[in-house]
Structures are given as C-alpha cells and as structure tokens.
Structure 1
Amino acid sequence: MPEHQKRPVTAGDHLYLVDGSAYIFRAYHALPPLTRKSDGLPVGAVHGFCNMLWKLLREADGETPTHLAVIFDHSAHSFRNEIYSDYKAHRPEPPEDLRPQFQIIRDATRAFNVHCIEQKGYEADDLIATYACEAREAGATVTIVSSDKDLMQLVGDGIEMYDQMKDKRIGVAEVVEKFGVEPRLVRDVQALAGDSIDNVPGVPGIGVKTAAQLILEYGDLESLLARAEEIKQPKRRQNLIEHAEMARLSRKLVELDCHMPLDVPLDELGVQEPDPRRLLAFLKAMEFTTITRRVGAATGVDPDEIEPGEVSIAHWEGAKPEAPPAEAAPEGKGEPAPEQRSTAAADGVCAAVFAAEAAVKDLPFDHASYETVTTLDRLDTWIAEALAQGHVAVDTEATSLFPMEAELVGVSLATAPGRACYVPLAHRKADGLFEGDGADLQQVPMAEALQRLKVLLEDPGTLKIAQNMKYDWLLLKRCGIDIAPFDDTMLISYAFEAGRRAHGMDELSKRYLGHTPIAYKDVAGSGKSQVTFDLVDVARATEYAAEDADVTLRLWTVLKPRLVDGKVVTVYETLERPLVTVLARMEQEGVEVDRAMLARLSSDLAQSAARVEDEIYELAGERFTIGSPKQLAEILFGKMGLPGARKTKTGAWTTGASVLEDLAAEGHALPAKVLEWRQITKLKSTYTDALPGYINRDTGRVHTCYSMASTTTGRLSSSEPNLQNIPVRTEEGRKIRKAFVAPKGMKLVSADYSQIELRILAHMAEIPQLVTAFEEGLDIHAMTASEMFSVPIEGMDPSVRRRAKAINFGIIYGISAFGLANQLGIPRGEAGDYIRRYFERFPGIRDYMDSTKAFAKANGYVTTLFGRKAHFPNINTGSAAERAFLERAAINAPIQGSAADIIRRAMIRMEEALHVAGSPARMLLQVHDELIFEVPEDAVADTIPLIRKVMEEAALPAVQLKVPLQVDARAADNWDEAH
C-alpha cells in the first residue's frame, strides 16, 4: 500500500473517524446475509462495509473528508477491565459466520488505502475520542461515523456524529433528545443508569430518564451524590447513598479517554486516493461485482484486466452455499426495475435491498419442506438454531382474530428463507378430543412448549420478527411471555408507504416476493362451514402457518433496509415500534361499561326512534320503510319533488348523507328528520345494543382493538368495538359515554389536547396573530372573529364567534364556500366572502396551503413535523373532483399527522413517566387527541399534573413548537363527565 503522506490538521480540515467495530455488527444484523459464490464464505458485513467506505470517500454526505481513519477494537480486554473485572464480561461470542469477516474488513480498509487503526489495551471509542479532541484543538471539524451512544459525550464544539445507515446527523439536539442532557453530562447519566450490555453497574432502580432528571436538577453526578440525602423518594435516596461508589466507578467505565498515546499520529491520517488496481483485485477476490464495476468506472480501470487478489481467511472451515448470492448473479438477472435502478445505483444499502429482494424471489416456496414439530427435542433444536443466529420470524395461530378472546393453538418459526416449522399446541378433533384422550394428534405439550419458547422469545440478543406483532405480543403475553426485542414487517411497510398501498401480509408478499400465500379460507373454510383453527388438520395447518413465518422473514429481509432508503428509520423506531407494546397493554386493560345503563339507553333510543318515525310518516303523508334508499328517494324526489336529486350509474336516486344534509340546510323538514332517525338508530345498533356483546367473559370489561397502519396520516383507528366514533356533540352520544365508568374506588381521567391542530397550523404556517393568541391564552375563536369582522372581543355576539370557529376548523380540512354555507346556514356568496377575508387577514395560511400542495404534486407525498410521510400517489389525476379531494387531504395531512405523532410520542413516554413516579394510573383508551386513564381516587391529584406535563412536552426535544400545547384534564366517575 502506498505510504500516507503527512498532512498537518489545520482549521478548515474535516476529519472522519469511522467506528469500524460497531459498524461491522450493524452491517451484519441490518443487511441480508450474503455468501461468496465460489466457496460459500460469508461476506455480508464485508460487502456492506465496502459500500459504506466507498461512499464516504466519494461523497461523505456532500463533504469530502481531508483526513480519514477506520478505528477498531484490538480485543475484548482493555484498561477498564483492570478497573472492573466484570466489564463487558457477559457479552456473547460473535456469530460464527461473522468471525471470518473481522480480518477481511481490516484488509478491505487497507485496500481502500485508508488507515486501519487499533491499539492493544484500548477500545476503539478511546482512540476516536483522542483523535477527535486533537483535531478539534487544531481547529478542524470532526465527523464520527457511528451511532454508538457512548460516543455522544464527545458531540459539540465542532464534533458531530453521522449514522450512515440511517443517513442521520447527530448533533447536540439529537443527544439531548436521547439522553435528556447536553453531551458533557451524558457520562453522568450513563454512570447512574448503567449499561447491561457492557455490564456497567450503575445505581439500581435508576433508568436513563430518571438519571437525566436528577442530573439536570443537581448539576452533575458529584453534586447529586453529595446531596443524596435530599432525595424525596425513600428507595431512590437509599440506593444513591448505598451505591455512590459504584456510580463513581461506573463513571470511570463510561468516560472516554481523550489523552491516549497514539501509535499513528493525527497528521498522518490525510486522505489518499486508493490504488485502483489493488482495490479492484480485492473486490474481485470477494466477488463483489456491483461495486467492482463502480470502482472501475470511477477510476478508469477495466476490472476485466485485473486478476483477483489473495485474501487470507481465518476462523472459517469452508462451506457450500445454499444458493448463489445476488451479487454474483449473471448479468441481467435479478435487476431492479428502471424506476428502482436509479435509486439503488448510488447507495450500497439500496443495492443490498434489491439484491436481497431478487434472492428471496428466486427461492421457491416448498410447503413439503416445512416441519411439524411434535417433540420437545425437535423444538429445542429449532430454538437453539434461532438463538445462535440472533433473529427468528414468529407467528401464532389461535381461535379468534381478537387477542383478548383468542386461545393459542400453535406457533410457527422461520430461521431462514425456506426454512420454517409449525409447533401445534392445542389442535383437536371435531369431537373435542386432544392428544392423550383418544385423538390421534401428535403435539407438543402446551406448558412445556411455552416454557421453552419463553427463553427464545424473551432473549434480549435474538430479534423476533412478526407481521402485526401487536396481536402476537398480546396473545403470548396472556400466556406469560413478553416478546422483546422485535421488528414488525407491517409497521416497516407502513413507515415508508403510508397512503400508497395496503400493508397486510398477503399484499406485501404479492408485491415484494411475487408469491400468493395460502388463504385462510383454504384451510379453515368460509361462511357457515368455517371452523376455528384448532379444528384444522395439523398437516394442513403446518403448510399454512409455517408459510406465514417464512413469508414474514423474507419480507423483513427485503423491507427493513428500505427504511434507510426512504429516510424513515426514525419514524419506525420512535413512533411505530415502541407503540406496539403500549397499545397492547391498553387493549389488555380494557374499560368497564355499565351494562344496566346501556340497557336503559337502548330502550330510550328505541322510543326516540319510534317518535321520529311517526314524525317522518306524518311529513311524508304515508308509511314506508325509512331504511330503504329506494323508497325514501321515491318519497323525496318522486312524490314531494324536492330539488337536488342525483342519480347513480344504475339510474337510482341517491339518498346519501350529503344529499339529505343539503336538503335539510335548505329548510326541508323531512330530510332533517331522516338524518335524525339514522343517527338514533345507528347509535342504538352500534353501541347500546352491541356493546354488551363485547364485554369479555373473563375480565368483565370491553377491550377495543387498535389499528396502527390503517390511515395515511398516522392516526389510530379502533374496532370491535369502535370507540372513536361515538359522537360527542349530541346528547345521545354523551349519554353513551356515561356508560363507560370507573370501578369502585377509581376515577376516569380524560386528558385532551386543546385545539392541537390549530396550534400546529399556527406553527407550520407561521401566523403571528394565532401564535400570539395561543401564547397569551386568548380565546382563539374570539380573536379570529375580532380580526376578521373588526369587532371587540369583549361582549362579542356568540353567533359571530361561532362563525369564526367554523372557519378556523374548516380551513384545516379545506372547507369550501359551499360547505361553510351549509354549516352556518348562510348564502354561498357570503361564505365565500368569509373565506376570502380569512386568507387576507392570515396570508400565511394561504402560503402554507399553496406550498404544501405544490410539494405534494411534485413528490407524491407530504411530511409531518416528525418526518412521517403521507403519500398521495394519485394527486395529479386528471379527474378534477378527485384531484381537489386529494389536494385538500394533502394540505391537512401534515397538520393531522403531526398531531397524531405528538399523541403517539406522549403515549410512548407516558408508561415510563407513570412508573417512575410510582403512579398506579393505567392508560385505557386513545381517541384521537384524547387519552383516558383509570386512576385510584387518592392518586388523582398527583397524577393529573404528571399526565399534563408528559402530553404538553411530547413534541420536545425533536420539535420546538412556536405555540404552547395545552391539555385539559379532569377526573370523574364516567367518561362523559371527565371529558
């Protein structure tokens, strides 16, 4: 390798330090497995590393480094082991297929003519810290290519981090978001919280958030320990006093050494061009055809003229590959589509995505190869295999789609594409017999199987992969298993494709794998002949269930890297995945309803419906079936000759809600009565009659199911029963909410964001009047009316305020002059004047709407304040009506989606906040901008301020809104009174 010339580091230089050891493991776990075609040598981590380093040298995220080094750990033993012998003592051995890649990656670094640095007795983090501090003192800027939390203590004053796999810069703000303190205090927080991975002890009972709160309150670790007697919580005070020396020891373990003696001086790290022939020889030896072509094209050297080099391989005995890797596929095979190819060409991670997709598509589904596990020995073998490789796809089969009603029937596992099994646990014959009582069914005993599966599914070093993990998590939680850690292919898809496509397994399989899975009806029947899964033949159940796990694992291989390509890793990791267990626990909690009250309400609604029916018949002059659109249309447009009749494509008159609302707005009594009748009968059938049927026989409570991936904007929806559509503006709807009650000795607390979407609009559109009004706590609707109609706020006519309120909320949803006229009962021209005047008084809103619409048309999506993408792929449609609808939706999506993201962040933080505070409160329901809790009566006074604090600070520190969030919260015996 050519000698590196000395190039003193000075002001204006940019040093890049690559955390090589950490990157190896990230590349290994994040990217699909890859083997060398000729001999099966595992090279996936090497391939990812080479693409990463090449991109740094060529682009470096828009900046080319002047100095560069890749830093590695020399060995597991360092000076910290002399301080604390158990430091990193429990770290598992690296996977067998990763071990041979360590040395190869060092050879790759040298092939790129980049310094490969490691020193005995010191960790890579200390080397990085020393180089970074020296460069900063010389006036240079430093980028540490890593996401390692331990390195975050270095950030600031010219040093930042760059997570290349997420394409994310990590500065002071990002460190504060993660740790709650500025970088200089990170080591103090870590000293208190400890680190189970590195076996840093910390102080018992103190996590990162609590540690941050303590450090912020007392200033630093030593000040906290000196004043530990002041801590109010007895257990925390005792732990801090008893473990003070352990905290100080932990600080020594986590604090980076910035003054190491360096074997390779900083000035010798100047970037040098690689020798293209040497580099190409290495890449050809590894059989990396794609990057070989790129390097050849960039350097002007024909790769065909270069012979493969020699690469020494250690810790590997050789193996035969099961299938050719996509990198070594023949020319023209497995190429991405044209629209994908341009995206993939510039990024190694993207190339790996499409290579993995091609590889799994080429591997056929062989149902005959799936194993039915009928003995504990075979189950142990599968579990050992999953534990050894560090990830496994999991799926459950049960007797119901609703996890609080379902009984577990079996579990399927997949450890590699095409390698899957099914573990039957509770299948039975039609006569109800199980194994051991006369039925010829071979299955693993439920209790023993769950005991063994618990070891796998709770193992912190094994990633569990599922499609719609919330269902499997809750079902297995009821069996005593807490699944962690996990990935969810449904939510991965939702994170980067919300609004574009459905996210069910069948749809994803067809799109990404070119495979149509076995339909549930094909194994369990349909209609009246459908049986529950426990009655499905075990052999057929194996084909179906094992295929589900196999498909899920293949989808994960293809979809997970796309989070990086779509720049939505943070959305998935902070807004989607953490919410799974929060919602599952809420579903498990359920809410109590008063069955007797529902019965009384049902009777009252029946009487109201009968009264309205009589009024309808009197207005119509005859009796008819009100629920029949045909008969109703004949009365309205045939007999009565009312205007506005519209026909469907079949020639029938339409009597939808919008038609009836238009007629009612024009003063026609019959359509108004029909709308009233529809609302009453819907409330009766949907809630007062149906809710008692949802009361769980075991818990006596109602357990709704939340859907995380069903809306474009990130809003949650609920079903079975749907508790988010109970009307709150009608007396009948409020009566239904009264039936949701707190048990004896408890209260329901409702915490509701006040006008959150208007606040977000004020922030995003930068409307000074609205910002000021929210900051000063003014009546926003009265202020708007005063601005628009030049009337004083004091003594304002309520009807004027009502008009301003309708416009405020209507603007968010793109209301038209026609819609506003109907809502306010005024002429359309007058409504149009109101809207024009509104935009004149608040011009920033029109600017926001125009710029958002233009962005959506150019990109096909819009984003929330937190990076969520809401896609509108058809926004440029030729249909004027559809285009107008999509434009309104695109304008609203960043506002509604940001509000949805904020309450998601609040829910994710709420559980820990309540736990840290020792609060017995339990979060039960989420209804758009509202959270409902069940709280002991004697804890209400302490709990409400905490709930408000978490919700009002939920956007921080990721987004600093220009207006404050406000949460209204109160407690009562039922939901209506608490709201």
Structure 2
Amino acid sequence: MIDYLGMMGDASDNIPGLPGVGDKTAKKFIAAYGSMEGLLANTDQLKGKMKEKVIANAELGLLSKKLATIRLDCPVTFNAKNYELDDPNVEAVHEIFDELEFRRAKETLAKIFSKELPETKSNVSSKSVSNSSAGAGQFSLFDAPGSGTASESESTGRKTLATSDHLYQLVQEGMGTKLFLQSLMQQSSVCFDTETTGLDPLTAELVGIAFSWEKGKGFYLPIPEDRDVAQAIVDQLKPFFESTSIEKVGQNLKYDIKVLDKYGVDVKGPMFDTMLAHYLINPDMRHNMDVLAETYLNYTPQSIVELIGKKGKNQLSMRDVDLEKQKEYAVEDADVTLQLKEHFTPELASAGTDKLFKDIEMPLLDVLAAMEIEGINLDEDFLSSLSGDLETDIAQLEKDIYEVAGEEFNIGSPKQLGIILFEKLKLVDKPKKTKTGQYSTAEDVLSYLAKDHAIIQNVLDYRGLSKLKSTYVDALPIR
C-alpha cells in the first residue's frame, strides 16, 4: 500500500506521486516490480513517455513513498488518564462563542454539559433542558437544535411566535379596510413587509402586505391574484406609501420598493432599513432578519421553510399557503422588524453613525432602487454581431494553437494543455506543478511565459475571448 500510494499519489495528503501514474498503472508496477525501488531499478524495461517520466521524477517518487509511510518508531508515552474528557470552562467558552456569533454551538454546548447560558452583551440568554452528561454518547456542537418551535423555545430560552403574546389581525374587505386605512394614516412610523410569489422583485407579484406600528400587534392585508382587483387594493394604500410625513420601516426595503413600483407606487418619506442600520452597527456580522432577531431580541422567527418547503420543484408559492398562516408569518416579520428598529436607533447614535445612516445610506437606497428598476438598454443587434466576430477570432486562435501543437486537444483542459506545452513542446525545462503533480497552466504562470512563446499568448487570448463571449456577450441578452 505504501509503494502504491507513493506511485499514484494522494491529493488529500499532499502526496504528489509519479506524474502520469494512476490507479491502474500503479497496480501494474507493483505486480511487476514489487516496490518503488524495484520500479526505479528497472526503468530500462519501461517504454516511451512513461519511461521518461519515471526516470525524471525518481526523487519525487522516493519522497512520495516516504510521505506515505506511517512511522511506527516514534517515542510515544500513552497515559489513558490524560485523555479523559473533563468539564470545560463553560463561561469562558461562551464568551468566545458570543464574540464569534456561534449561537447554535453555544446552545448545544450548554445542553451537553447541562449548564445555564449566562447573560451576554446581546441579551441572548437561554437554558438547557437536557440532562445528558459529558461523554454520554456522541455529540456535535454544530447540530441545529430546531427551527422556531415551542420545544426549541424551551431548549434555547428564546421566544417564538408560539410562546409570545401577540395580536395579528387580518384586514377584512369593506368597512374593515376603511377603518384600517384611517388608523394607518394617523401613524408617524409604520413597519411594512411585502409577501410575494418569488425572490425577483421585478417579476414577483404581491400576495399580501403586513403592517405593524406597535410591538406584538399588526395587520395583514391579503392581495388577490386578479391583477385588476390587486391594483385597486394597492391604490388605496398609495396615500400611506407616498406620504412624506410617515416614516416607513422595513428589512431590505429596496426589495419592497421595487415590488411596489410595478403597481405604480412611489414610496416616499423618511425610511428606516434595519438591514442597512445593522450593517453600520456591526458590518462583519450577518444581517438577515432571523439572525438579528435571535441576537438582539432573543427571538426565533418562524422559518419560511415551514410554510412553503425547501427549494426545489415541490416548493410552494406563498399564494398557496393558508391565509391564517400567511398572516401569522408576515405580520411576525413586520413586528420583529419594528422591534429591531427600536433597538438599532440608539445604537446608531452611540456608534456615531446615525448621520451617515440618515444622510447617505437611506437616500442612496432610493437611488439604487430607481437604477435597478430602470435597468440598462442593450443593443442586441450589436451584441449578436460582436458574438459572431468573437466566434471567428476564437476559431482562428484555436486553429493556430492546433497547428503549433501538431494535434487537436481540449484547450480548456488544464491537464491536456499542460501536457502539450510542457511534455510535447517542452517549452520550459522545469515547469511549475500543482500540489497534485499536474502542470500548472494558471494565468500568472502562462502570462510570464507568453512573451517567449506565441502559442501561450494565443492560449491566453483564447481564454479571454471565450470568457467575454460566454459570460457577457451571449449571456446579457437572455438575462
């Protein structure tokens, strides 16, 4: 086995092996010569390129065998007592986990060692309900404890929708909508969240809009699939969205602005985006709402996967979800975002970034949304013509490369290209190799050699034009 690994190499252990020797060839050599040394002593029996490779890489072969050898003569003193698992300093580990934002690992550690989680700077505290002791079976610090259920609330100490007092109401048609709109227009700051049929704001349709202006309370206004009816409902909301005196609060407001634009709504007035606010407060941390809620509110929101399933052909649309579940999910998002806004406002001030947030980030959000809505114009006829020109240039480069190489091969294959350049054409005496023993054809390597070899410059040009054609010229018109 040692000689076998030495011959064919093992990328996972950084054993280079003999170039050109794979599984079958290594087994053949072992059967014929017995060992690496036996192979090297009988290179006269080899033929062609393989003979040249083995002779040229004899030292590499011996080194590879040495690397594959497990040393059994190391002086090791074993004392089983030294390897017993002791209780860790849980408090010290918690401090590290808090700093690194390892929330799940922190909870699981507490379960394993049956310790209460201490209060943290982010006010995230939880208790373990597990009575398992250290060493009682296998465990993992990184298994996810759950997904927002009541049982998770018990095990993590976090609140969930099931364990929190809340009043989320469905806005009924007719008088219910009228009364809701009257109350909405009386507010000075409102958090809203759109529910849609997809993630692309330029194609997604509204399914409903959630509103909240008081902690634990909110409203959900469903939007029907019929476009005319949907437009009529959204039109009733225009006075709110276009009011310059009512602050609009949201998480990733740019998405909502782009969705509403398709319904003729121009969102105006002061805005507060909790995602952008948190970026200024803690730029190195993740900014999605679930993470923010768990970190700052000690709350685990309901997962969207519970409603529509995992990504794939069987995933539902939000429009397929029961209306009551839509309401609870959507208003929870608005409610949580409102609470995050209340938490982040003083933090922005204490961090000295409130002026940057109000004067730069929020106005820029509106500008970026407008730019993305407007998009760019493409001259498809020009791009089509350019694609044809590039195809001609690429074909000529391909022909020139094959002519110098003396054969056709896959220019896009680093392995085949390396063999042509460094074995057949022998352009370099000692070509650079990768960790796996393959010739390196990386951009920096070829760029250094291009000045002396026309074929290498042609390869670089071939790569550049192929990338330009496939990634931009051909792809842009179909996006």
Aligned equivalent of 1:647, options 434, 442, 466: 434
- What corresponds to 1:446 in structure 2? 230
- What corresponds to 1:475 in structure 2? 259
**Conservation of the 8 A alpha-carbon contact between 1:397 and 1:411:** yes
**Conservation of the 8 A alpha-carbon contact between 1:365 and 1:418:** no
User: What code does the residue aligned with 1:549 have?
Assistant: A
Deviation at 1:383, TM superposition (A): 4.2
Return closer, same or farther for 1:600/1:336 CA change in 2, 3 Å cut-off: same
Deviation at 1:625, TM superposition (A): 2.7
Deviation at 1:576, TM superposition (A): 0.9
The root-mean-square deviation of aligned C-alpha atoms, in Å, is 3.6
Deviation at 1:577, TM superposition (A): 0.7
State the distance in 1 between where 2:417 and 2:321 align: 47
Identity %: 37
- What corresponds to 2:469 in structure 1? 684
Deviation at 1:562, TM superposition (A): 1.7
Deviates further, 414-423 or 650-659: 650-659
State the distance in 2 between where 1:686 and 1:388 align: 51
**Conservation of the 8 A alpha-carbon contact between 1:363 and 1:418:** no
Deviation at 1:395, TM superposition (A): 1.5
Deviation at 1:521, TM superposition (A): 5.0
Return closer, same or farther for 1:627/1:543 CA change in 2, 3 Å cut-off: farther
Matched, 1:605 2:390: yes
SS in 1 for 2:161: coil
Matches within 5 A, 1:792-831: none
State the distance in 1 between where 2:224 and 2:409 align: 52
SS in 2 for 1:394: strand
Deviation at 1:538, TM superposition (A): 3.5
Alpha-carbon displacement from aligned partner over 1:43-74 (angstroms, at most 9, x marks no partner): xxxxxxxxxxxxxxxxxxxxxxxxxxxxxxxx
- What corresponds to 1:566 in structure 2? 351
Matched, 1:405 2:209: no
Deviation at 1:564, TM superposition (A): 1.2
User: What code does the residue aligned with 1:365 have?
Assistant: L
Aligned equivalent of 1:555, options 317, 328, 340: 340
User: What code does the residue aligned with 2:202 have?
Assistant: M
State the distance in 2 between where 1:513 and 1:652 align: 52
Matched, 1:458 2:256: no
Q: TM-score, normalised by structure 1?
A: 0.30
SS in 2 for 1:454: helix
Aligned equivalent of 2:273, options 472, 483, 488: 488
User: What code does the residue aligned with 1:553 have?
Assistant: L
State the distance in 2 between where 1:476 and 1:584 align: 11
User: What code does the residue aligned with 1:613 have?
Assistant: E
Deviation at 1:470, TM superposition (A): 1.8
Return closer, same or farther for 1:333/1:503 CA change in 2, 3 Å cut-off: closer
Matched, 1:415 2:213: yes
Unpaired stretches in structure 1, ≥5 consecutive residues: 1-331, 339-360, 428-433, 436-443, 695-979
Matches within 5 A, 1:518-667: 518-522=302-306, 523=308, 525-636=310-421, 642=428, 643=430, 645-647=432-434, 655-664=441-450, 667=452
- What corresponds to 2:160 in structure 1? 364
State the distance in 1 between where 2:224 and 2:334 align: 19
**Conservation of the 8 A alpha-carbon contact between 1:417 and 1:550:** yes
Unpaired stretches in structure 2, ≥5 consecutive residues: 1-116, 124-156
Matched, 1:425 2:210: no
**Conservation of the 8 A alpha-carbon contact between 2:160 and 2:301:** no
Deviation at 1:685, TM superposition (A): 1.9
**Conservation of the 8 A alpha-carbon contact between 1:391 and 1:464:** yes
**Conservation of the 8 A alpha-carbon contact between 1:386 and 1:462:** no
User: What code does the residue aligned with 1:390 have?
Assistant: S
Deviation at 1:389, TM superposition (A): 4.4
Alpha-carbon displacement from aligned partner over 1:868-902 (angstroms, at most 9, x marks no partner): xxxxxxxxxxxxxxxxxxxxxxxxxxxxxxxxxxx
State the distance in 2 between where 1:497 and 1:670 align: 50
**Conservation of the 8 A alpha-carbon contact between 1:376 and 1:449:** no
User: What code does the residue aligned with 1:647 have?
Assistant: T
State the distance in 2 between where 1:598 and 1:545 align: 43
SS in 2 for 1:593: coil
State the distance in 1 between where 2:439 and 2:180 align: 62
State the distance in 1 between where 2:175 and 2:425 align: 78
- What corresponds to 1:216 in structure 2? none
The number of residue pairs the alignment matches comes to 324
State the distance in 1 between where 2:441 and 2:216 align: 53
**Conservation of the 8 A alpha-carbon contact between 1:393 and 1:549:** yes
State the distance in 2 between where 1:516 and 1:609 align: 54
SS in 1 for 2:212: strand
- What corresponds to 2:173 in structure 1? 375
Return closer, same or farther for 1:417/1:683 CA change in 2, 3 Å cut-off: farther
Deviation at 1:362, TM superposition (A): 6.2
**Conservation of the 8 A alpha-carbon contact between 1:563 and 1:569:** yes
**Conservation of the 8 A alpha-carbon contact between 1:364 and 1:418:** no
**Conservation of the 8 A alpha-carbon contact between 2:411 and 2:459:** yes
State the distance in 2 between where 1:690 and 1:452 align: 40
SS in 1 for 2:190: strand
Return closer, same or farther for 1:416/1:601 CA change in 2, 3 Å cut-off: same
Return closer, same or farther for 1:414/1:614 CA change in 2, 3 Å cut-off: farther
**Conservation of the 8 A alpha-carbon contact between 1:385 and 1:415:** no
Alpha-carbon displacement from aligned partner over 1:194-238 (angstroms, at most 9, x marks no partner): xxxxxxxxxxxxxxxxxxxxxxxxxxxxxxxxxxxxxxxxxxxxx
